[in-house]
Structure 1
Amino acid sequence: MPAIYDWRSSLVPNSQVFRAGGQVIPGARTLGGFATDSPEPGGLGELYWDFAPKGSAQAMRDISWTASRLMNGAAMRLRLAMSPQLVPATDLNPPLTDGLPWASGAPWANDKNWQWNPWVPAASAAARGAETLTIDMTGLGEVLHLGHLIGLTLGGVDYTHMVMDTDWTGDLVTVTISPVLRRPVAIGEAVRFRPVMVARCANPAQVLGQFENRRIAVLNAAQFVEALV
């Protein structure tokens, strides 16, 4: 598998939206580097990020490194920032988690938790290409709604899916998702509420702005398209 690089933590987006695309997306690529304009079954996930100007020396070095990686078509592991597309932390009390909540329930809690990665288990197996997945939401209730995003890590690759429909039966919910599953899902697989996606930048030449008098660096709006394995 080609290298997948982590997005630099100093380059947090100022705004964000994930779109479950279904049309032809120029600039889509496989992890092996094959460029395609043809839509994958179920569409390709797209992530749009905007950035505020960055002023720290670390951020400017990270911008320099990141711009070169993007121009060379590198696959990036992108952790989605908090947005209305994610289930709020106040609705996830307490799910299974392998991270640490920051100031949970305290007045200064801001939903940007340190290493907090809440998840619930898949309640049934699902095949590659499936459009539905059944999830065990025991203890949480009906907090997963249309337009929310969920994440899966399968075979060492991270995927983000949008919930397009829900069908509740007690504590179990069968969600219709887009894009479709890229790999099989086993019973008990972690379905995460703080998703990550592996993607390539579709507009790398436009992302890097200018370094202004060695004090401020600018990243312009970036469009990322799901990179397929």
Structure 2
Amino acid sequence: MTIPLYDWPAAVRPFASILVAPGNTIDGFISRASYQNDIPIAGARNQLRMEFNAHGESAGNYFAWAINNAQLARFLVPIRNTPQLASTAALAAAEVTHAQGNPFSTGQYFSTGYGFAFNPTIDVSAAAVEGANTIVLDETRWPDALTYGKIVGLGRGVYHVNDIDRDGTTVTISFSPPLRRDIAAGEHATLRPSLICRPQNLSTFIALFDPAQIVRPGAIVMNEVIDEAYL
């Protein structure tokens, strides 16, 4: 059975979120003095944690759809409403300008009046191999966009900037977790990444509809899915 990959419904939008990559460990030894030495394991997976405000009737069917597909599918979830996203005055102004999204090359939008989501990118200057934790990027389009604590998308993975060395618009970043696949020079790194994931705690997300058809989803933790088909 092929596991489907769905876009997370835009109507079910979090008001707060954070992306973390908690360290993984295996149990180590315990000394006679009760000192426990856990052994860290490299390559922790990302977790996207989201909280939601009340959603109206227009979002109700999308909420129910997400719940009913949660254990059967993978979701591509945009990471939004977090200070972890790259931010400059130029980026903020561009997002306002592109509030309706980008149109087709003909200048036309979809029938909804919206276009493709604004997705600012920077270029990869030098190739990096699977397992690496540094990469060289060219910030010419969006100078000074990345700094400590920000996130960046490479391939279909999302990475945390831990250190940065800037030389003009050329930046070398150290990041975690390690690269999921080889990245070639000339690829695009996205500043508005999405995470391929599935819920860890669906039961806390489920909420009941009240008589006014308002639903108040609980918090949810989404675990990164690492699958060769999606890298």
Is the TM-score greater than 0.5? yes
Match of 2:173 in 1: 175
Tell me which of 98, 101, 107 is aligned to 2:98.
101
Structure 1 unaligned residues grouped into runs of 5+? 26-38, 105-112
Secondary structure (helix, strand or coil) at the match of 1:206 reads helix
For the residues of structure 2 that align with 1:15 and 1:82, how far apart are their CA atoms?
A: 6
What do the CA deviations read for 1:46-97 (whole angstroms, capped 9, x no partner)?
Answer: 11000011112x3111111111111x252110001132111125243899x9
Task: List aligned pairs for 1:75-224, cutoff 5 A.
Answer: 75-88=74-87, 90-92=89-91, 101-102=98-99, 115-138=117-140, 140-152=142-154, 154=155, 158-224=156-222
Does 2:5 match 1:4? yes
> Contact conserved, 1:101 with 1:114, CA < 8 A, in 2?
no
- Cα deviation, residue 151, structure 1: 1.0
Match of 1:63 in 2: 63
Distance 1:103 1:88, change over 3 A: farther
> Contact conserved, 2:6 with 2:73, CA < 8 A, in 1?
yes
Corresponding pairs, count: 200
> Contact conserved, 2:3 with 2:72, CA < 8 A, in 1?
no
Whichever of the two has the greater Rg, that structure is: 2
Structure 2 letter corresponding to 1:101? H
Distance 1:159 1:116, change over 3 A: same
For the residues of structure 2 that align with 1:206 and 1:60, how far apart are their CA atoms?
A: 17
What do the CA deviations read for 1:184-224 (whole angstroms, capped 9, x no partner)?
Answer: 10001110110111011110122101111252112100001
For the residues of structure 2 that align with 1:141 and 1:224, how far apart are their CA atoms?
A: 31
For the residues of structure 2 that align with 1:227 and 1:82, how far apart are their CA atoms?
A: 21
Q: TM-score, normalised by structure 1?
A: 0.78
- Cα deviation, residue 23, structure 1: 2.0
> Contact conserved, 1:161 with 1:177, CA < 8 A, in 2?
yes
For the residues of structure 2 that align with 1:94 and 1:213, how far apart are their CA atoms?
A: 41
Distance 1:212 1:43, change over 3 A: same
Task: List aligned pairs for 1:18-29, cutoff 5 A.
Answer: 18-23=19-24
Match of 2:223 in 1: 225
Distance 1:76 1:139, change over 3 A: closer
What is the alpha-carbon root mean square deviation over aligned residues?
2.8
For the residues of structure 2 that align with 1:24 and 1:62, how far apart are their CA atoms?
A: 37
Q: TM-score, normalised by structure 2?
A: 0.78
Distance 1:94 1:84, change over 3 A: closer
> Contact conserved, 2:16 with 2:81, CA < 8 A, in 1?
no
Structure 2 letter corresponding to 1:2? I
Secondary structure (helix, strand or coil) at the match of 2:216 reads strand
Structure 2 letter corresponding to 1:187? A
More relative contact order in 1 or in 2 (CA 8 Å, sep 6+)? Answer: 1
For the residues of structure 1 that align with 2:201 and 2:92, how far apart are their CA atoms?
A: 39
Distance 1:62 1:40, change over 3 A: farther
> Contact conserved, 2:126 with 2:136, CA < 8 A, in 1?
yes
> Contact conserved, 2:159 with 2:176, CA < 8 A, in 1?
yes
Distance 1:6 1:103, change over 3 A: closer
